[in-house]
Amino acid sequence: MILIYENWYEMLLARYGFLGTGMAECQTRDGIRLIFRKATTDHSIINDIFARKSYDKFSPIQNGFTVIDIGANIGAFSIYAASKGAVVYSYEPEKENFKLLNKNISLNHGKEKIHPFNLAVGGKSGLTSLFISKENVGGHSIFPSPKLESKQNVRITTLTDILRGKRIEKCDFLKLDCEGAEYDILFKITKNMLAKIKRIGMEYHRIKGRNYKDMIKFLGENGFKVEATKPSKIGMGIIYASRN
């Protein structure tokens, strides 16, 4: 943590809940600045990106990459990827997260490289309900749960529509953190569009009728070399996939 953050002491206090409430700013030693909410899971998401390298551990983001960030939250991964020279298409459906995403893009002068969209991504386009978690600002989901107390009506698109609509011929890196929607997003993509994706880093979830083994099987059958962390007690982990 000391090697990564200029204000490492604040990030340490945030980790243990000693910063109080309100807003704070993370400052990395690479010059990245991120506004985040104290007493939320924001600091943990930032650490996933910058300290743990959770998504691109085996396939680092490179200059010139085209990146799609599904579940962009407040922009930590999008801004990290842009700092490496990538062009990023960022998708975040929740309105408060999206406001912070835009603030953080501006704070890091990322408007030329990061293209934000206030959209959910799933298996079909249209309108849907986003169920909101008060405890976990990164845990909002299009799937209802007793732990999700309220909902927002949001627009939803598909990965096929993103690739086609933005005329993306090659997605060098696809990042997904979308609370169970990863199955519909990838399982319902057309074959010719899936062929455009070269690397994937995703947080997987266990949902009714699906688990990470289904995702590993699907990716393997479509030419990806796949590695996965073991699922946690609640069925979450990380999948890394790549192909030539």
Quick one: 42 and 91 in the same domain?
A: no
Domain span holding position 20? 1-52
In this structure, the strands spanning 150-158 and 87-91 are unpaired
List, edge to edge, every strand of the sheet that includes 126-132: 120-122, 150-158, 126-132
Quick one: 158 and 203 in the same domain?
A: yes
Quick one: 177 and 237 in the same domain?
A: yes
**pLDDT tens profile 140-158:** 999 988 777 799 999 999 9
**pLDDT tens profile 203-238:** 999 999 999 999 999 999 999 999 999 999 999 999
HSE of 65, CA atoms in CB hemisphere, 13 A: 27
SS (H, E, C) 19-52: CCCCEEEEEECCCCEEEEECCCCHHHHHHHHHCC
The pLDDT value recorded for residue 42 is 96
- CATH number of the domain enclosing 97: 3.40.50.150
How would you write the pLDDT of the chain (244 residues) with one tens digit per residue?
899 999 999 999 998 889 889 999 999 999 999 999 999 999 999 999 999 999 998 889 999 999 999 999 999 999 999 999 999 999 999 999 999 999 999 999 999 999 999 999 999 999 999 999 988 999 999 998 877 779 999 999 999 999 999 999 999 999 999 999 999 999 999 999 999 999 999 999 999 999 999 999 999 999 999 999 999 999 999 999 999 8
- Structure tokens, 56: 């691109």
Helix (H) or strand (E) segment spanning residue 102: helix 95-107
